């Protein structure tokens, strides 16, 4: 007389295709089905009032429900397959949200006892109903990374997630003590056939010396070979831990223009040297050839040909499961190399620059967070010797060639004309400072809104120290001006981050349903703005968003958990963007930041909603912290 | 109330029930009647109800057989999915191919089926003291009556709620020819489409329709008597 779950077809069938029930085994699913009671609520009726004792997990079988926090603020709008009521069950407390049927609703409800038993018996079920968005999101991020590594392994690729440790040669490391004479060190290098020699005190690395150093710092200047290596070595070289992923190590080397990295163990002992060549040989992948092609390009068209492969290369990286941060760093490296190569090509034709200068990149390139379809933001910074009358003609042409070349290479002209081709963005350090001072001393909301990207700046060519000097002065001025800080914070906090999704729509705070999610404006930019606000307030030198968040946490202006949560959000939303862009590229569409909420998987929707919530909370906090000026 | 005491549908039902109880031969049918009828003046939430759907091998109660009964209980305005059950009846002869197609009941499934008398006895036990709910309840009432007459020589009298009749009574309006079919009515109330066509699913579908009708009915909570088939 009693029925098996296969006979409760409609109920079990529905649960089976509704998260998180697919994670249950047959017995657990049967238990869930048998625990279901069906209830019907007419449109407009209250299902649960805030403050009610709630005894059920509700699953919407048909219809739509709105959750309003404390009965007022819209918290979520839910449709078929969505669940509600679990936070109060888990807390064993009263409902905080009012649940209202906004359409006629058929609900499947599972009582507290069965819910508790399923949570106890099934990890997947319990995890799904985790109340804490932050830990849910972090788990999603690590799940993506694992899936990425697994995908790469499944393709038989030497995974670029593998730690550098896997590449370290078994042979003994050749090192030199600091007092070793240069001549002896050179003999040692020749005998051991190494191009790089770490200089160590005991097991601790204190410097590094390369073939190139011997040529430039010894032979070219006729230095006495009896001089100790410590006087020509590069002291305190960049190192990586054993666990550093190969992709990271490779990007670091590409970005820094070095070919070797010392690898240290947890105790700080030198364990070996990893070279870019070793990694490339192992990866057997061609995604770095875009960089090499640009570096070897003879004209802007050749650069454009090289960068035209960028979308496909990104698709390949995404397909291999590479995480968003590495993909962004890769795209940024390509962009940066293209900037430098275009300048070099122009200079080869125009002659050497008549004055000292630096090329400064603003915005995403400065942060090393470039995505596909990003536009260019750049300018020139000059030293005191710059004479506009005599020199600007040259730099106007240099700037024009740069921005044209970048546009041809797919880094579109900046719609706001923030480009070195615009005379307004060719300034001396003092002029830049005066320009910024205008915003800082007399902030108005519109100017502040537009000034954001200028606080993300990085020298990419020329005398980078000029950019550094300008950045320091401007940050110092901004940091001291509390009114400006409150403007910056308010401007950041004003971003309307969506609430979540309802059916195939994006749900906004004012209950409006949107058809398009702008990942950049609605999820990525708010995190960038948050990190920047903290960076300006705290005088943080780092430009990258993740680095800024970490530095703000270290300085105590942002709590550690918030920094970690925001970093997870940032990684997740950028991952969604790159996956989305890879799909667009695969379809032959131009990559964009806009996406149809209906195209999102349930996994992405759920976790984006978590990310939105975390970002909104931090924006609120920023607003209140900085409202009257920071500090 | 006066109406139900003097010749209204509730009174007529009580009278017929009492007579059937007197005439029933001892056995399952007599035991069913012995429990009596629920109090029709009670609010709906206080009376146990069971939605029932019969799958049969024909449309004429007198010369067709019941193949299975699907059941699910309602209590306190909610449907308890865990109470859902199915009783299979052994048909007099092998199934006609048509019935197999319509109900998805195969000879294999019928191997677990009980002889009519046994199945009917089990069903009656399950329905003791309950109000029955069906869509187009004449079918269920007619088939159960015919089956009881075959087995015990006495008819079946029970309080029935017919969701099709309720729809006409509570929401009178012109409709298309098939406008009162279960699926049509359900979609009008925003209830999901159920693909399966078996006794249990149809009983559940009917029970859900009743909840929707009650939720949409203007006025306060009805008493049981307001729902009964007339």
Report which of A237, A249, A15 is spatially closest to residue A125, judged by C-alpha positions: A15
pLDDT of A399 above 90: yes
pLDDT of A213 above 60: yes
Q: Determine how many CB atoms are found less than 10 A away from the CB of residue A218.
A: 21
B208 with A105: Cβ contact below 8 A: no
Looking at domain B37-227, its CATH superfamily turns out to be: Ribonuclease H-like superfamily/Ribonuclease H (3.30.420.10)
| pLDDT band of A629, cuts 50, 70, 90 | very low
Which pLDDT belongs to residue B2?
A: 42
Contacts of B84 in chain A (CB under 8 A): 3, 7-8
Lowest mean pLDDT among A168-172, A476-480, B53-57, B83-87: A168-172
Q: Determine how many CB atoms are found less than 10 A away from the CB of residue A479.
A: 19
What class is the A9-131 domain? mainly beta
Write b or e for each residue in A54-78: b if 16 or more Cβ atoms lie within 10 A of its Cβ, otherwise e.
bebbbbbbbbbbbbbeeeeeebbbb
The domain ranges of chain A are 9-131, 164-283, 490-626
pLDDT of B1 above 50: no
Contacts of A17 in chain B (CB under 8 A): none
A106 with B190: Cβ contact below 8 A: yes
**Out of B81, B198, B216, whose CB is closest to A34?**
B81
* Multiple choice CATH, A164-283, 3.30.429.10, 1.10.10.10, 3.10.580.10, 3.30.365.10: 3.10.580.10
Residue scoring higher pLDDT (B177 or A209): A209
pLDDT in tens, B42-57: 988 889 999 999 998 8
B86 with A3: Cβ contact below 8 A: yes
Instruction: Write the DSSP symbol of residue A181.
Output: B
Q: What does pLDDT average to over chain A?
A: 88
Comparing A9-131 with A164-283, is the CATH topology the same?
no
Which pLDDT belongs to residue A507?
A: 83
Mean pLDDT of A617-629: 79
With a pLDDT cut of 70, the percent of chain A lying above it is 94
How high is the ipTM of this complex?
0.89
pLDDT of A145 above 90: no
Are B95 and B101 spatial neighbours (Cβ–Cβ below 8 Å)? no
pLDDT in tens, B163-173: 999 999 999 98
DSSP codes, chain B? -HHHHTTSHHHHHHHHHHHHHHHPPTTHHHHHHHT----TTSBGGGS-EEEEEEEESSS-TTT--EEEEEEEEEETTEEEEEEEEEEEBPPSSPPPHHHHHHH---HHHHTTPBPHHHHHHHHHHHHTT-EEEETTHHHHHHHHHHHHHHHHSS-----EEEHHHHHHHHS-----TTTTSHHHHHHHTTPPP----SHHHHHHHHHHHHHHHHHHSSSSPPBHHHHB--
Instruction: Write the DSSP symbol of residue A174.
Output: P
Instruction: Give the distance from residue A31's alpha carbon to the nearest chain B alpha carbon, in angstroms.
Output: 9
Residue with tokens 């700080």, as numbered in its chain = A268
Whether chain B has a CB inside 8 Å of the CB on A211: the answer is no
B200 with A1: Cβ contact below 8 A: no
Which pLDDT belongs to residue A140?
A: 81
| pLDDT band of A630, cuts 50, 70, 90 | very low
B85 with A1: Cβ contact below 8 A: yes
Q: Rounded to whole angstroms, how far apart are CA atoms A224 and A222?
A: 7
Residue scoring higher pLDDT (A606 or B160): B160
pLDDT of A254 above 80: no
Which pLDDT belongs to residue B107?
A: 61
Residue scoring higher pLDDT (A109 or A130): A109
Which pLDDT belongs to residue B213?
A: 95
pLDDT of A241 above 80: yes
What is the CATH number assigned to the segment(s) A490-626? 1.20.120
Are A328 and A374 spatial neighbours (Cβ–Cβ below 8 Å)? no
User: Is the peptide bond between A20 and the residue preceding it cis, with omega within 30 degrees of 0?
Assistant: yes
Mean pLDDT of A499-525: 86
Mean pLDDT of A158-187: 81
A104 with B80: Cβ contact below 8 A: no
Which of B81, B193, B201 is best to mutate for the A interface (most A CBs within 10 A)? B81
Q: Rounded to whole angstroms, how far apart are CA atoms B176 and A345?
A: 78
Whether chain A has a CB inside 8 Å of the CB on B73: the answer is no
Contacts of A40 in chain B (CB under 8 A): 189, 191, 208, 211-212, 214-215
pLDDT in tens, A523-560: 999 999 999 999 999 989 999 999 999 999 999 989 99
Q: Rounded to whole angstroms, how far apart are CA atoms A231 and A226?
A: 11
Mean pLDDT of A95-114: 94
Q: Rounded to whole angstroms, how far apart are CA atoms A411 and A405?
A: 9
**Out of B81, B189, B200, whose CB is closest to A104?**
B189
Which pLDDT belongs to residue A260?
A: 86
Which pLDDT belongs to residue A63?
A: 94
The domain ranges of chain B are 37-227
pLDDT of A284 above 70: no
Contacts of B207 in chain A (CB under 8 A): 38
Lowest mean pLDDT among A337-351, A355-369, A430-444, B177-191: A430-444
| pLDDT band of B3, cuts 50, 70, 90 | very low
Which of B69, B77, B215 is best to mutate for the A interface (most A CBs within 10 A)? B215
Whether chain A has a CB inside 8 Å of the CB on B87: the answer is yes
| pLDDT band of A5, cuts 50, 70, 90 | very low
B192 with A62: Cβ contact below 8 A: yes
pLDDT of A382 above 80: yes
Lowest mean pLDDT among A110-114, A334-338, A599-603: A599-603
Nearest residue of B to residue A7, measured between CA atoms: B200
């Amino acid at each position: 007389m009693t029925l098996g779950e296969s006979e409760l077809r409609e109920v079990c069938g529905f649960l089976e295709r509704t998260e998180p029930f697919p994670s249950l085994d047959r017995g657990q699913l049967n238990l869930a089905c048998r625990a279901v009671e069906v209830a019907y609520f007419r449109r407009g009726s209250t299902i649960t009032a805030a403050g009610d004792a709630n005894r059920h997990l509700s699953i919407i079988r048909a219809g739509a429900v709105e959750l309003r926090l404390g009965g007022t603020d819209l918290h979520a709008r839910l449709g078929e397959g969505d669940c509600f009521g679990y936070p109060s069950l888990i807390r064993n407390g009263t409902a905080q949200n009012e649940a209202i049927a906004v359409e006629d609703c058929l609900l499947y409800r599972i009582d507290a006892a069965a819910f508790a038993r399923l949570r106890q018996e099934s990890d997947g079920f319990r995890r799904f109903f985790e109340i804490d968005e932050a830990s849910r999101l972090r788990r999603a991020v690590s799940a993506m990374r694992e899936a990425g590594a697994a995908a790469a392994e499944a393709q038989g690729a030497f995974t670029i997630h593998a730690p550098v440790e896997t590449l370290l040669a078994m042979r003994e490391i050749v090192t030199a003590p600091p007092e070793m004479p240069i001549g002896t060190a050179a003999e040692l290098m020749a005998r051991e056939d190494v191009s790089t020699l770490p200089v160590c005190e005991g097991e601790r690395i204190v410097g590094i010396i390369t073939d190139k150093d011997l040529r430039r710092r010894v032979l070219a200047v006729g230095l006495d070979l009896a001089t100790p290596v410590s006087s020509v070595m590069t002291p305190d070289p960049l190192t990586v831990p054993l666990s550093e992923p190969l992709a990271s190590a490779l990007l670091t080397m590409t970005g820094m223009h070095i070919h070797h990295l010392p690898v240290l163990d947890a105790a700080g002992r030198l364990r070996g040297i990893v070279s870019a060549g070793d990694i490339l040989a192992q990866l057997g992948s061609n995604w770095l050839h875009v960089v090499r092609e640009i570096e070897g390009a003879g004209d802007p068209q050749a650069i454009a040909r090289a960068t035209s492969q960028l979308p496909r290369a990104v698709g390949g990286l995404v397909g291999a499961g590479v995480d968003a941060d590495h993909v962004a760093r890769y795209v940024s490296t390509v962009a940066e190399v293209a900037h430098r190569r275009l300048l070099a090509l122009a200079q080869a034709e125009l002659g050497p620059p008549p004055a000292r200068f630096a090329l400064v990149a603003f915005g995403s390139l400065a942060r090393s967070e470039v995505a596909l379809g990003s536009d260019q933001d750049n300018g020139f910074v000059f030293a005191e010797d710059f004479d506009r009358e005599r020199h600007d003609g040259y730099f106007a042409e240099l700037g024009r060639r740069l921005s044209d070349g970048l546009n041809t290479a797919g880094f579109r002209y900046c719609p706001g004309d923030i480009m070195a081709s615009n005379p307004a963005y060719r300034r001396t350090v003092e002029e830049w400072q005066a320009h910024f001072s205008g915003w800082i001393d007399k902030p108005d909301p519109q100017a502040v809104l537009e000034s954001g990207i200028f606080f993300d700046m990085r020298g990419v060519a020329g005398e980078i120290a000029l950019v550094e000097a300008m950045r320091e002065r401007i940050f110092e001025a901004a940091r001291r001006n509390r009114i400006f800080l409150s403007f910056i914070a308010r401007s950041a906090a004003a971003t309307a981050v969506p609430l979540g999704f309802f059916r195939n729509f994006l749900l906004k705070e004012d209950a409006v349903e949107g058809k398009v999610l702008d990942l950049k404006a609605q999820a990525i930019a708010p995190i960038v703005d948050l990190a920047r606000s903290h960076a300006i307030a705290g005088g943080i030198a780092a430009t990258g968003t993740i680095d800024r968040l970490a530095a703000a946490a270290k300085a105590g202006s942002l709590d550690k958990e918030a920094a970690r949560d925001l970093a997870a959000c940032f990684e997740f939303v950028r991952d969604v963007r790159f996956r989305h862009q890879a799909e667009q590229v695969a379809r032959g569409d131009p990559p964009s930041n806009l996406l149809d909420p209906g195209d999102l998987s349930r996994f992405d929707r759920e976790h984006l909603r978590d990310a939105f919530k975390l970002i909104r909370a931090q924006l609120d906090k920023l607003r209140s912290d900085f409202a009257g000026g920071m500090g | 109330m006066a109406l139900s005491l003097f010749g209204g549908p509730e009174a007529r039902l009580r009278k017929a029930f009492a007579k059937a109880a007197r005439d029933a031969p001892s056995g399952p049918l007599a035991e069913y009647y012995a429990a009596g009828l629920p109090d029709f003046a009670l609010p709906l939430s206080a009376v146990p109800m069971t939605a029932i759907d019969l799958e049969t091998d024909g449309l004429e109660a007198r010369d067709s057989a019941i193949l299975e009964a699907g059941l699910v209980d309602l209590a306190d305005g909610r449907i308890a999915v865990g109470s859902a059950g199915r009783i299979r009846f052994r048909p007099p002869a092998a199934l006609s191919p048509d019935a197999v197609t319509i109900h998805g009941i195969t000879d294999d499934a019928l191997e677990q089926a009980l002889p009519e008398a046994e199945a009917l006895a089990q069903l009656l036990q399950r329905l003791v003291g309950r109000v029955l709910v069906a869509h187009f309840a004449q079918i269920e009432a007619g088939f159960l009556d015919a089956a009881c007459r075959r087995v015990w020589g006495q008819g079946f009298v029970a309080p029935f709620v017919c969701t099709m009749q309720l729809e006409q009574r509570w929401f009178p309006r012109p409709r298309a020819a098939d406008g009162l079919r279960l699926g049509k009515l359900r979609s009008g109330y925003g209830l999901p489409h159920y693909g399966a066509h078996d006794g249990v699913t149809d009983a559940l579908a009917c029970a859900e329709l009743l909840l929707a009708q009650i939720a949409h009915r203007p006025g306060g909570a009805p008493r049981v008597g307001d729902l009964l088939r007339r």
